[in-house]
Structure 1
């Protein structure tokens, strides 16, 4: 086989690598979806089956912002209002939040952690640290920093493209 013939397949592969790939396993959306699946699976493995990642996020927001209404919780969690209303009901049924109706506005539901919700969050602190450790374990410290920086940048820059953009600086 001539050296030219041996170079042809290598050059062809190199050319194809430089072109945009249509390989599903190289598509950013597919990789993000798979990363989400892995993240949720690891969450349940470490935290347990009794609470979902979205429920945990809502509880953490309520820990930092007690007595906010459901619309504000939706904005802070980047969820739509109907999902947040159902989430609040489920968390109340579990005894983790209290939903209050202020006398001045009967249409609003204010949310706060119940004692059980606050205790649950406190008990999860070591597990949350362990979850983060496991999620980033296969990356070097520099890769971890880069990964989190790029992921944060991607989410921040594309926030407005979401069906439910994050709104941390707004009150309802």
Structure 2
């Protein structure tokens, strides 16, 4: 005989965030919750391509700066250089990017999209834009633009203060 699950009670129901707590007033907490929702949506869309959001981000950065050095890519992605090596190994394995040894400094490599990477990236851009719109569907176009402006204001201020 199959064991039945007990009906939901306060003790075994899924946890929900109480509305009147300090957490509900912290921007960092709200940003993290929103980021998780948006990122999970993108993860699901990229899964059929065997890609993760960081790899997709790297493809976009490489497209914008062909020949970019690995250390520069690490800085832009805010990850450690060894993580960039792993990320690029995956992109090369998928045939989406290539590392080309630089002539002046034989230890350095410029990163470029392959033809397959350029082709796939066109499709991935459309998928990412649709995923982003889907994840933020609760916002009007104006609210979405306002949110983007406010988020840019937060992180670009930090960039300007340190740069």
Tell me the TM-score range normalised by the shorter chain: 0.7 to 0.9
Structure 2 Cα separation of the partners of residues 89 and 45 of structure 1:
22
Unaligned runs of 5+ in 2: 1-19
Structure 2 Cα separation of the partners of residues 104 and 112 of structure 1:
17
1:52-67 aligned at under 5 Å gives the runs 52-67=52-67
Q: Secondary structure at the match of 1:99?
A: strand
Q: Which has the higher contact order (CA 8 A, sep 6+)?
A: 1
1:17-166 aligned at under 5 Å gives the runs 23-49=22-48, 50-159=50-159
Of the two, which has the highest radius of gyration? 1
Structure 1 Cα separation of the partners of residues 59 and 124 of structure 2:
11
Change (3 A) 1:34 1:160: farther
TM (normalized to structure 1)? 0.71
Deviation for aligned residue 1:23: 2.3
Q: Secondary structure at the match of 1:138?
A: coil
Deviation for aligned residue 1:57: 0.9
Change (3 A) 1:26 1:41: same
Aligned CA-pair RMSD? 2.4
Deviation for aligned residue 1:119: 1.5
Deviation for aligned residue 1:24: 2.6
Structure 1 Cα separation of the partners of residues 34 and 44 of structure 2:
15
Structure 2 Cα separation of the partners of residues 25 and 80 of structure 1:
32
Unaligned runs of 5+ in 1: 1-20, 168-172
Alpha-carbon contact 2:38-2:132 (below 8 Å) kept = no
How many residues matched?
A: 143
TM (normalized to structure 2)? 0.75
Alpha-carbon contact 2:61-2:73 (below 8 Å) kept = yes
Alpha-carbon contact 1:46-1:130 (below 8 Å) kept = no
Structure 1 Cα separation of the partners of residues 160 and 81 of structure 2:
16
Structure 2 Cα separation of the partners of residues 90 and 160 of structure 1:
33
Q: Deviations over 1:29-88 (max 9, x none)?
A: 222222221121110233335211111111011112111111122233333323222211
